Amino acid sequence: MKLQTESLKKEMIAWRHEFHKYPELGFQEVRTSKLIAELLRSFGLKVYEKFGKTGVVGHLERNKAKKLIAIRADIDALPIEEKTSLSYQSQRNGTMHACGHDGHTATLLGAAKYLSQDKSFDGNILFIFQPDEENGGGAKAMIEDNLFKKFSVSEVYALHNMPGMPVGYFATRENTITASENSFEIEVISKGGHSALPNMGGDAIQIASQIVNSLQTIVSRKIDPRKKAVLSITEFITNGKKNILASKVVLKGDTRCLDDDTKAIIESELRRICQSITAASDASCVVKFETNVPITYNSKAPTQNLTKCVIDTFGKKNIESNCAPMLFSEDFSFLASQVPGCFVLIGNGSNGPNAEPLHSPKFDFNDEILTLGSCLWVNLAKMISKH
């Protein structure tokens, strides 16, 4: 089914470029939210602003008797300095849409406009524009703002672009689709001292360095190699100076995994290693470990619905319906823990800035997949409304 007109495609591209040019960080998406709300109103939707601080919700209710489904797009940007030289490059220093949320938003707006103008659509759909996905706070904020109490949502859906995956290709799976994100902070406390007299003092840097190296053995030696997991130290902060041995080091990082048993092993081993190494060095440590974003689980019924829709719309060859789980995290997990949900990946392309890694300063969302994503949402809404 040919869905999008050339004029709507041009509009989606224009919206996407506008969002890209003026990116906003999590819970700061004031300009972005205002534009989304204005567009939704112009489509004739009932609009709810400041939902979860800076979130926006649009409701298209053609038939109250039909079950209400929700589709979510994330709207926040990242604290990254853009290096693309695009005509619509970010105009805000140190902030850019390096994850494609500008494209996700424009895609959902396109679906909202099309369905609002389609007189044959006889369904009930909620368009969720969610803030602060990158920090894992936006979905929680919308839930705490009674999103699912105000709206009796039956199923919730979301997509994310995937660099390196061919344009026109989709991937999803039942059960675990993305990993949990667990952050940790390790404070190593030692005696410190003069750099010329190390025998009289202590060296927190040397102790922390042992910890950094030893933590890498958790995944390689304590986790079943058939399971996916990663642990990364991302910050190493000391109070040492040129001639002063550090008395304190703070290590920060995160770990990703795909099941709770693996997470429990990682946390237990992390604490054991830190305590053992510091005790052997006559030092001490304080370890904090917390789950920021839980594992995203795709429920059976919505995943089957979405898979069928992709096959009917684009053909069976254009979807991997049992893809490998991804080790990035998604705060869509909070929404999918409240009602049955499905998260799907859409290919962003294999060349140029479209194939740059997510969160790269050279990344750009592929305008060619705007119509593909929008078409998926429109056809999914129509398919579900018939039942």
Active site residues: 76, 133
Alpha-carbon distance of 136 to 74, in angstroms, equals 11
Closest alpha carbon to 145 in 132, 160, 159: 132
Q: Which of 246, 243, 247 is nearest to 195 (CA)?
A: 243
8 A C-beta contact, residue 286 and residue 269: no
**Furthest-apart CA atoms within the chain: distance in Å:** 82
Ranges of beta strands (E only) in the chain are 46-51, 55-61, 68-74, 124-130, 153-163, 170-171, 175-178, 180-189, 193-194, 229-238, 244-245, 248-257, 284-293, 296-298, 319-320, 341-349
Q: What DSSP string runs through 322-334?
A: TPPPBSS--THHH
In the structure encoding, which two tokens stand for residue 84, read together? 């693309």
Decide if 54 contacts 29 (C-beta within 8 A).
yes
Q: What is the DSSP string of 122-184?
A: --EEEEEEES-TTTT-HHHHHHHTTHHHHS-EEEEEEEEEEETSPTT-EE--SEEEE-EEEEE
Q: State the CB neighbour count (10 A cutoff) for residue 321.
A: 18
- Gyration radius (Cα) of the chain, Å: 23
Count CB neighbours of 224 within 10 A.
10
DSSP type of residue 81: -
Q: What's at 16, amino acid-wise?
A: R
